[in-house]
Structure 1
Amino acid sequence: MKTARTIAVVDDEQDLRQSVSQWLQLTEFSPVAFESGEQALEVITPSFPGVVVSDIRMPGLDGMALLRRIQSVDPGLPVILMTGHGDVPMAVEAMHIGAFDFIEKPFDPERLVDICTRACERRQRTLESRDLRRELADESVAVRRLLGAHASIAALRDGIPDMAQADGHVLILGETGTGKSLIANALHACGPRSQTPMVTVNCEAIPGGQLEEMLFGGEAQPGKPLVDQAEGSTLVLENIEAMREGVQARLLELLNAADQASAMPNPRNLRVIAISSRLKQANAPGYGMRDDLFFRLAGLVVEVPPLRVRGEDILTLFTHYTRQFAEEYGCEAPVLDAADAANLLQAPWPGNVRQLINLAERSVLQTLRGEQNISALLIDDGFQAATVSLDSERPLKEHVEAFERMLIDHALRRHRGSVASVMAELALPRRTLNEKMAKYGLTRQDYL
């Protein structure tokens, strides 16, 4: 997306138009000059990558009329008006109509630059927000945001469009930071309700009584209850296990009533996507969710795999996010060496993808300071880094063997000596695993 640094300078006086344009150009804006409002309107569209600075008094279409015309094209496009001393009341009226700001002539050029900077920042946020909404409404983009080649992620990408069209309630299960909210967004974006705004609430962040009023309405709840806001759309309930039982009972009643729509005068029409970090213990005693509500929501269940089981996806994601942050910070992305790659692959990742994104940003900031020690950042996160020698005089075969031994060692540690689990994780037949364990001096008893 283009950076919003374009300034449309509109003034019928050539000298002022040129001087303002020259000053803005010196301060790294991209001015485009117009001698009339009519000319400016020929290039102003909802995607215009900047703001408008216009004189308020001009023949033909004056500044006030131009402001109104621009608002009809794009209400989110900031307009700054230049006024003479006697035009201040008119400029104040323009602010009420929706002008971003006004500046009185003769003005300090630095003040104009400051106003343009703030206006461009607002314009940038507006355009980015629109891009994001378009992205979430584009099912192909929404699904592509599920990065990775691991079989479980590939199956998710393939299955989301079908699950979205089914339009039933969904229960998304997975550890914290695995991307459950992203999947909820993709399900909404790919479904028949995609043209309506999705409504999301974090049940864990809101006290029980307040949550009940937010969802269903009450004396202390201003505005429409969330179930009304989600009418015809999707209601996403994050951390649903934190919802107290009385609120769960009301939610179950609402969902059951929706199934009996023919008997209801004003039936509900909403899809619920519930998100939980409790995985397969979701309906176990003490979980916190009523069994009947669990089974009501679990018509479609999506289990999101933890990052630590996704193999080379870890390196793919890390590379993707370091490049993204490097572009943002204007520096080179860090280059992984064998030790870094080994440690990333073997880290336990309790915070999953969210933790990886955080680590990627910190590694880019490290590179910005002229340093690179990704393994040290992992140690800061509480992971004991593996020791992988990178002695350039060692032959490649020894590097490969050291890396292979480390993979098997860490797998045995994670699975506490369960050979069957290690075979499944590393996709090795028993005989091959036994041979490699013997070769590297690894015995099952050491991990029990």
Structure 2
Amino acid sequence: MSNGRIVLVEDDKELRESLKEILELQNFTVTGFAGADMALASLQYNSDAIVISDIRMPTMDGITFLKHLQKLDSTLPVILISGHADIETALESVKLGAFDFVEKPLRPERLIGLAGKAAQHRALTLENRRLKQNKQRDITVDQLLIGQSDVMQKLKQRLITLANADINIVINGETGTGKEKIARTLHSQSSRKNRPFVAINCGAMPENLIESELFGHEAGSFTGANKKRIGKIEYASGGTLFLDEIESMPLTAQIRLLRVIQEGELERVGSNETVKVDLKVLSAAKGDLLALSQEGTFRQDLYYRLNVASLDIPPLRERKSDIPQLLGYFLYEAEKRLGEVAPTLTSIHFQQLMSHDWPGNVRELMNEADRIVLGISDLIFTNDADACHSLSHQLAQYEFSVLHHTLKMFHGHIANAAEYLDIPRKNLYLRMKKYGLNKESYLVDNLKDVE
């Protein structure tokens, strides 16, 4: 069992390999880098690693590296290696936030002892964060957003960071990727979660009514305004406002929205009184909002007010390994809604699903689940009998079946499944990748098993 993960940065190859060997003998998992820039790219907020780095290095020295790591994650333990001439610098680095430092010539027992303390400190920090996050959030991001692919893990991590930041965010994604789902998740994971979440599709609102809908109106302010109305923006105060298809908003409404964001106040249509509002504004567009602002069809000053940060949703074709888990969930929901039972899916069906490009993204996959339950899917129900009975397809179907049932038997535990099948874990992962199988699909109890 590993004592912890270490990112080791040392430009001297011989010393780096020597330190790596010493630490690995103490059951640390060590990844070595010749430069700080390469090491920095491998780390992220909530990394389960500690860092050991030399101070004197070309390109980026240890102190600069430390400052970058402080911005990334201020609690990440960093142990610096200092020469005799660097002692003063090393002491200063501790004031800057370094965990500690070791002097050259290195004493292995000193380095091992510090690494052990730093690893324990990191494990405790991450556990406290996890407990605090669970306390603050009723539902986790993993429960709200299905998928364990690398791109989805990065999206979830960035989403958690942005949810905790009270800033305006532009959500970018192709049609059908789930922009409103992401917006609702950002709200549910934020400190505003107990306040209103108001979603508005600007493209679905009549142009002559959009300002009244957004900003509200006073009685008699226009024909048909029989009584005072609180607008969507005012109703969302204290919570989150999501503006979808914001590029459809008329320029006059854009000007009024800009003032709301800048001043934190609005005027209802037909009123001279200002109303204070407190908003986190999330927005999305069908096209590239930056390009639209540069073309002059969307106000550039409003774009920069909205785009303090952005969140990019990957298309389904870039995370196909999530398809089995997503499909399992959608089939389960479709069966409940339609009152039908989905047919058994074979490896051939999965190969067809995995080879499809999904231009409609997750929404298309959701609709496909409905069609599968109803037995009308053109994608997987073919009449190509020769293909279905060829030797290669039958062998693939048998291999898929064995893998699926073994993973199901061991609840996605890779080591146990590989031992049972008498193959190396690496080979099991490669075969799972071939059929789009993901171990997380076998860990979530409330998802339907896909046969």
Normalised to the residue count of structure 1, the TM-score between the two structures is: 0.50
Compare CA radii of gyration and give the structure with the larger one. 1
Normalised to the residue count of structure 2, the TM-score between the two structures is: 0.49
